[in-house]
Chain A
Amino acid sequence: MLGFNLLLVALAVQGAIIALCLSVLLLLRLRMTARLREVDEGLQHFEPMLHRWLTSEQDPADLVRALRAMPAHAALRASTRLTTALVPAERHPALARALRDEPWVCAIIARGRSRLWWRRFDAARLLCVAGQPIDAPLVTRLLADRSPAVRLVAFDAAVRLGDRSLIDRGIGDLVRHQDAVQAYHFAALGLQPVLTGEALCRRLASPATTAELVAWIDAAGALATPAPLRAARLLARHEDADVRVHAARAIRRLAEPETVPVLIALLDDADWRVRAQAARALGALRVADAVEPLARAVTDRAWWVRYRAALALAQVGGTARAALLAIADGEDALARDMAHLVTSLSPSAVIEMSEV
């Protein structure tokens, strides 16, 4: 009898715990639904106002008032989601200045020192929209956050602040990231081309490891402004082949006469990857003076070099295309095959395959 009573008590306790858990889940669900509804309502209210601001020269006072009237979490989501998608870089500073001293903005940014990562994440996201120079210490702290998500967003915020030391630090840390994260950072750095270019020039001119040089050369290639690309061009004769490969690839975006002899010299490099990238760059730059060395490269012992050189000749066009047709009738069987392959491509296919 006692055992049966104990069993009943245990069942009752378990039932109560399950009921409690279900109630909590239900309440959480209801709360989440209500919050999502608030966000949707906020977006519906805010988006037309943002459209009006973007198509006019007015100050963003109406936007600020609209966000102030929303619950803080809805204002955060509406502002971050819409501004990152729709507000161009040149309109962003005016909006950031207008928002920064709003009470809800201050409250969320203050959570940047919270122990909970999602609160720090929210702060970092809002710093991307409303960050000002006074926020540099907090952004510095978030750049070293233990959460990768927070660090990723903080990098964007750091670039948008336009703080020279933060950008330099971010560039210094590029080498620690995987390729996909680096690509994200390169896109963010494009928002501050002048400061990024200056920092890259300094870095590329100073002693560094191969991995660091490769990351910075890739950043220079993604930025595609002349000064850092000139610094990358100086590394085209670096002793490490990895550095030469990335330098040859990056300077295909540097259309200057000085680039041509550097690339033609790289067509004779000992490493086939360097030769292939040099051929690709000469094609991208459409260097008519490089027809002869490129035609020679179509007879290279490495397939990729032959492929890139033949595509480059097709890109250059004119006498280069005639040279390619001559190779297609030549005696070198491997070169002939490659010339046949590339001359059979449509012009748009040549464009697509050259850029990939």
Chain B
Amino acid sequence: MALSSRSGDAAHPSASTDEIFPVSREAARAPASARPTPVRVAALGTDVHGTHVTALPLLVATADAMVERLLTFALDQARLPHRLYRSGTQLLDDLMSLPTHDAIPVIVLDLDLPGVDGHALLERLMVHRPDAFLVLALSSHADESMQVRSLLLGAVEHLAKPFNIRVLVAKLERWMRFAARHTRRDATQATG
């Protein structure tokens, strides 16, 4: 399974979140001063629009250690629990079996992954699990053909490194809200 799991707030009261993203031992052992400062929100586990963004699965895949640390810090700050992958092979294996009927998982996918690279992974997903995930692609290549390939292969965004982390987190929150609304609407239609 995943190489590590993290939670933005170890004392988060949302049981469902912790079930999906168990708090890592490292995070649990860390002194309170080393943990990220909690961000005040209207209600725990919701964003300003009242959407339960933290209950949605967020997967982060990167083999770039510096980007990984920055993303981890920023997502912890924004209280967006996430699951971290450093290998395309591992991510692809998990995505093929990940249930998506309760929520559309959002994936931050660094294209420069070992094992299966990002574009090959997107291609597999397009064939085997189309529209099952919302993928935000990251790449150190800013050229147009990389961006076009990412978008045509199903990514909803493509950001070139060095990307603006505040913009990325804002986009993530926006896509997670979209995923939550989509899921609720689908569930309503199914039960309606």
Chain A positions within 8 Å of B, measured between CB atoms, are 47-48, 51-52, 54-55, 82, 84-91, 187, 190, 222, 224, 253, 346-348, 351-352, 355-356
CB–CB B77/A224 < 8 A: no
CB–CB A348/B66 < 8 A: no
When distances are taken between beta carbons in the complex, the residues of chain B under 8 Å from A51 are: 69-70, 73-74
**CA separation between A48 and B169, bound complex, in Å?**
17
CB–CB A85/B66 < 8 A: yes
- Assess whether B165 is interfacial by the CB under 8 Å rule: yes
CB–CB B74/A86 < 8 A: no
Among residues of A, the one whose C-beta sits closest to the C-beta of B78 is: A55
**CA separation between A94 and B58, bound complex, in Å?**
32
CB–CB A348/B126 < 8 A: yes
When distances are taken between beta carbons in the complex, the residues of chain B under 8 Å from A90 are: 164
- Assess whether B149 is interfacial by the CB under 8 Å rule: yes
CB–CB A352/B149 < 8 A: yes
Partner of A55, one of B119, B123, B165: B165
Among residues of A, the one whose C-beta sits closest to the C-beta of B148 is: A355
Partner of B166, one of A55, A85, A346, A356: A55
**CA separation between A54 and B144, bound complex, in Å?**
26
- Assess whether B50 is interfacial by the CB under 8 Å rule: no
CB–CB A85/B162 < 8 A: yes
Partner of A352, one of B66, B70, B119: B119
CB–CB A54/B69 < 8 A: no
- Assess whether B153 is interfacial by the CB under 8 Å rule: yes
CB–CB B144/A253 < 8 A: yes
**CA separation between A174 and B42, bound complex, in Å?**
54
**CA separation between A82 and B70, bound complex, in Å?**
11
**CA separation between A222 and B126, bound complex, in Å?**
28
CB–CB A82/B145 < 8 A: no
**Given A253-B144, A346-B127, A355-B148, residue A84 in contact with residue B162 (CB < 8 A):** yes
When distances are taken between beta carbons in the complex, the residues of chain A under 8 Å from B67 are: 85-86
Among residues of B, the one whose C-beta sits closest to the C-beta of A190 is: B142
Write the nearest CB–CB distance from A141 to chain B, whole angstroms.
Answer: 28
CB–CB A54/B70 < 8 A: yes
When distances are taken between beta carbons in the complex, the residues of chain B under 8 Å from A224 are: 144
* Max count, chain B CB within 10 A of own CB: residue among A224, A348, A355: A348
Chain B positions within 8 Å of A, measured between CB atoms, are 66-67, 69-70, 73-74, 77, 119, 122-123, 126-127, 142-145, 148-149, 152-153, 161-166, 169
**CA separation between A232 and B67, bound complex, in Å?**
37
When distances are taken between beta carbons in the complex, the residues of chain A under 8 Å from B162 are: 84-89
**CA separation between A312 and B15, bound complex, in Å?**
52
CB–CB B73/A55 < 8 A: yes
When distances are taken between beta carbons in the complex, the residues of chain B under 8 Å from A55 are: 73-74, 77, 165-166, 169
Extra contacts besides A47-B69, A51-B73 (9): CB < 8 Å: A51-B70, A55-B77, A55-B169, A86-B162, A86-B165, A88-B163, A88-B164, A187-B143, A348-B127
CB–CB A355/B145 < 8 A: yes
**Given A54-B166, A85-B161, residue A187 in contact with residue B142 (CB < 8 A):** yes
Write the nearest CB–CB distance from B6 to chain A, whole angstroms.
Answer: 15
Among residues of B, the one whose C-beta sits closest to the C-beta of A346 is: B127
Write the nearest CB–CB distance from B146 to chain A, whole angstroms.
Answer: 8
* Max count, chain B CB within 10 A of own CB: residue among A91, A222, A355: A355
**Given A55-B73, A55-B74, A351-B153, residue A91 in contact with residue B145 (CB < 8 A):** no
When distances are taken between beta carbons in the complex, the residues of chain A under 8 Å from B122 are: 348
When distances are taken between beta carbons in the complex, the residues of chain B under 8 Å from A48 are: 73
When distances are taken between beta carbons in the complex, the residues of chain B under 8 Å from A222 are: 143
When distances are taken between beta carbons in the complex, the residues of chain A under 8 Å from B169 are: 55
Among residues of A, the one whose C-beta sits closest to the C-beta of B154 is: A348
Write the nearest CB–CB distance from A230 to chain B, whole angstroms.
Answer: 17
Among residues of A, the one whose C-beta sits closest to the C-beta of B167 is: A88
When distances are taken between beta carbons in the complex, the residues of chain B under 8 Å from A84 are: 162
Among residues of B, the one whose C-beta sits closest to the C-beta of A88 is: B164
When distances are taken between beta carbons in the complex, the residues of chain A under 8 Å from B152 are: 348, 351
Among residues of A, the one whose C-beta sits closest to the C-beta of B164 is: A88
CB–CB B149/A355 < 8 A: yes
When distances are taken between beta carbons in the complex, the residues of chain B under 8 Å from A347 are: 126
When distances are taken between beta carbons in the complex, the residues of chain A under 8 Å from B70 are: 51, 54, 86
When distances are taken between beta carbons in the complex, the residues of chain B under 8 Å from A253 are: 144
When distances are taken between beta carbons in the complex, the residues of chain A under 8 Å from B144 are: 224, 253
CB–CB B161/A91 < 8 A: no
CB–CB A351/B149 < 8 A: yes
Write the nearest CB–CB distance from A210 to chain B, whole angstroms.
Answer: 24
